[in-house]
Amino acid sequence: MAEEEVIAMERVLTLELVRVTERAAVAAAKMRGRGDEKAADQAAVDAMRNELNRLDIRGRIVIGEGERDEAPMLYIGEEVGNGDGPEVDIALDPLEGTTICAKNLPNSLAVIAITRRGGLLNAPDVYMEKLAIGPGFPEGFIELDMPPAEIVSRIAKEKDVRDRDVTACILDRPRHQKLIEEVRATGAAIRLIGDGDVAGVIHTTDPEQTGIDFYIGTGGAPEGVLASAALRCMGGQMYGRLILDSDEKRKRSERMGIEDPRRIYSEEDMASGDVLFAATGVTDGNLLHGVSFRRGIAMTHTIVTRSYTGTQRWVRARHVVEDKFEFID
C-alpha cells in the first residue's frame, strides 16, 4: 500500500477504534462490583475480540491476554481483523484493572493501541520499573534512576510551586514501601492506586484535571507498553526497564527478542512510528466517566487519539442497547 493510502487508512481506523473499546467497556461494566474479576475480564475480552474482527485490518496481537497456551483469546501472536487493509500490530487490555472493576472502584479502562508492523515492544509478562510525566517538560527532564527527591524538586521548580504541591501516583504494593517513604520525605503527596497503572500514567498528561504530576514504580511490562502508546499520542515522557530477576525470565525475554536485559526504554522505544490509541472508561475515573446504564441505553466516554496529528477526541456516546443491554448490530 502506498504511504498516503496507509495514512488515510489510519485516519479512518482511529475513529473505528472507539467502537472496539466501547464494546469491551460496556461488557465489563455489566460485571462491575460483582467481585468476579475473571467474569468481568472474560466479558470484555469476548466483546473486544468480536469488534476487532470487524475492522479492516490484518492485525497481530503483540500485547494481549497472555501467551497462546494460557489465553484462549487475544493471545500474543493471534491474528485479528477481517483480513483486509493494513498490516498492524496491536497492544490491548480489554479490562485494565480487573480488580478495581470487580470492586467498582475508580479508573478501570478498556484500552487498545495500534501501530504499523513492528511498532510495539514485544514485552514479556514480567515487571517493569516505570517513570512517567506529562507533556510540556524538556526532553530528558527526568531519568529512570533519578532519586525521587530530585524528580519532585525538578517538577516543582518547572511548575513554579513548592515540593509539597507535587503529587505522585504509585501502585499500593508492599514492594513500594521504600519508594513511598522517599517520595513522602520530600513533602510531596501520593495517590496510592490499587491497580490500573495505564490510567495512572495517562493521568500525568493532564495534572490540572487529575491531580497527578508523575507516575513512578513497578508494574506490569505489558501495561508499560500500552501506557507508552498513550503518551506517544497525548504527550509526555516515559521510561521503563524490565525486571528480569531469574534465568527463566531472562530466557523468556531473549526468546521474545530482548537483547539487553538492563536496557532503559523510552516511550518511543516501546511504541514507535504512528500510534493510534483509544480508551473507554469502565468505572468512573479522573479523566473518563465510566459506563452508565439507563433503560435501554448505555452511555460511554472514550478518548481516541493519534500520534501523527496529536488530536484528542473525547467521544461521549449513547448506545441503544435494548432491554438486555445487548447492542443492536
Given the rule CB under 6 A, which residues bind ligand VTB?
Answer: 96-97, 171, 173, 195-198, 219-220, 223
Instruction: State in angstroms the smallest separation of the CB of 155 from ligand VTB.
Output: 22
Q: Report the alpha-carbon distance of residue 315 to residue 19 in Å, rounded.
A: 10
Instruction: State in angstroms the smallest separation of the CB of 218 from ligand VTB.
Output: 7
Instruction: State in angstroms the smallest separation of the CB of 197 from ligand VTB.
Output: 3
Q: Report the alpha-carbon distance of residue 271 to residue 261 in Å, rounded.
A: 18
CA 144 from chain center: how many Å? 19
In this complex, which beta carbon is closest to ligand VTB, that of residue 85 or of residue 220?
220
Length of the chain: 329
In this complex, which beta carbon is closest to ligand VTB, that of residue 88 or of residue 287?
287
44: which residues sit within 8 A by CB, 6+ positions away? 24, 25, 27, 28, 94, 95, 110, 282
Q: Report the alpha-carbon distance of residue 244 to residue 221 in Å, rounded.
A: 11
In this complex, which beta carbon is closest to ligand VTB, that of residue 55 or of residue 105?
105
In this complex, which beta carbon is closest to ligand VTB, that of residue 10 or of residue 195?
195
Instruction: State in angstroms the smallest separation of the CB of 200 from ligand VTB.
Output: 7
Provide long-range contacts, Cβ within 8 A and 24+ apart, for 263-269: 264/144, 264/239, 264/240, 265/121, 265/224, 265/228, 265/239, 265/240, 265/241, 266/237, 266/238, 266/239, 267/132, 267/228, 267/231, 267/232, 267/236, 267/237, 267/238, 267/239, 268/228, 268/232, 269/121
Closest residue to bound ligand VTB by CB: 219
Instruction: State in angstroms the smallest separation of the CB of 241 from ligand VTB.
Output: 14
Instruction: State in angstroms the smallest separation of the CB of 26 from ligand VTB.
Output: 20
Q: Is the dihedral of CA 284, 289, 291, 297 positive or negative?
A: positive
SS3 267: helix
In this complex, which beta carbon is closest to ligand VTB, that of residue 174 or of residue 257?
174
Q: Report the alpha-carbon distance of residue 74 to residue 62 in Å, rounded.
A: 9
In this complex, which beta carbon is closest to ligand VTB, that of residue 18 or of residue 201?
201
In this complex, which beta carbon is closest to ligand VTB, that of residue 104 or of residue 153?
104
